[in-house]
Amino acid sequence: MIDKVEIIPLGGLGEFGMNCLAVRAGGEMLIIDVGMGFPEESVYGVDVAIPDFAALDEYRDEIAAIILTHGHEDHIGALPYILRKFNVPVYGSSFTIALAESRLEDHGLLDRVMLHRVESGERVELGVFEIEFIRVSHSLVDCFALAIRTPVGIIIHTGDYKVDETPVVDSPIDLRALQRYGQEGVLALLSDSTNATVPGRTPSERAVIPTFEEIFAEAPGRIIVSCFASSIHRQQIVLDVAARFGRRVCVLGRSMQKNIEIADRLGYLDIPVDLLVSLDEAKKLDGDQIVFLVTGSQSEPRSVLPQMATQSYKGVAIEEGDTVVLSARIIPGHERAISRLIGEIYKRGGQIYDEKRRLVHVSGHASQEDIRLMTEAVRPRFVIPIHGEYRMLYRHKEYLRRHLGFDEERVILVENGDVIELDEKRAAVSDKWPVGRTFIDETEVGFEEVDSEIVRERRQLAYDGVITPVITINGETGQLEAPPEIATHGLLGMDGLLREMKRLIAETVASASAREKSDTTLLKERVRLEVKRFIQRQTGTRPVIIPVIVQL
Which residue numbers are catalytic?
Answer: 192, 365
Which residues face 90 on adjacent strands?
66, 115
- Tell me: is residue 116 an annotated ligand-binding position: no
Asked if residue 363 belongs to a known ligand binding site, the reply is yes
- 354 marked as part of a ligand binding site: no
User: What SS3 state is found at 87?
Assistant: coil
Torsion sign, CA atoms 117, 120, 121, 127? positive
Q: Are 91 and 31 a contacting pair, CB within 8 Å? A: no
Contacts of 442 (CB under 8 A, 6+ apart): 47, 48
Q: Are 298 and 198 in contact (CB under 8 A)?
A: no
Instruction: For residue 139, say whether it is annotated as part of any ligand binding site.
Output: no
Task: Answer for the pair 49, 452: CB distance below 8 angstroms, yes or no.
Answer: no
> Distance between CA atoms of 67 and 148, rounded to whole angstroms?
11
**Per-residue buried b or exposed e for 508-545, using 16+ beta carbons within 10 Å of the residue's own CB:** bbeebeeebbeebeebbebbbebbeebbeeeeeeebbb
Q: Which residues contact 552 (CB under 8 A, 6 or more apart)?
A: 472, 473, 474, 475, 481
State how far the Cα of 341 lies from the Cα of 229, in Å rounded to an integer: 18
Distance between CA 397 and CA 394 in Å, rounded? 5
Query: Do residues 243 and 272 make contact, with C-beta atoms less than 8 angstroms apart?
Result: yes
| 107 carries a ligand binding annotation | no
28-34 and 20-25 strand pairing = antiparallel
Inter-residue contact 131 to 43 (CB < 8 Å): no
Q: Was 327 annotated as part of a binding site?
A: no
Residue 286 is labelled as binding a ligand: no
Please tell me the number of Cα atoms within 13 Å of 110 on its side-chain side. Answer: 12
The phi and psi torsions of 124 (rounded to 5 degrees) equal: -130, 130
Residue 142 annotated as binding? no
CB of 74 within 8 A of CB of 46?
no
Q: Is 72 annotated as a binding residue?
A: yes
Q: Is 70 within any annotated ligand binding site?
A: yes
The reply to whether 441 sits in an annotated binding site is yes
- Amino acid found at 552: L
Asked whether the beta carbons of 509 and 527 are under 8 A apart, the reply is yes
Among the listed residues 315, 320, 347, the one whose alpha carbon sits nearest the alpha carbon of residue 250: 315
What residues form the annotated binding site for Ca(2+)?
A: 45, 47, 441
What residues form the annotated binding site for Zn(2+)?
A: 70, 72, 74-75, 138, 160, 387
What residues form the annotated binding site?
A: 45, 47, 70, 72, 74-75, 138, 160, 361-365, 387, 441
What residues form the annotated binding site for substrate?
A: 361-365
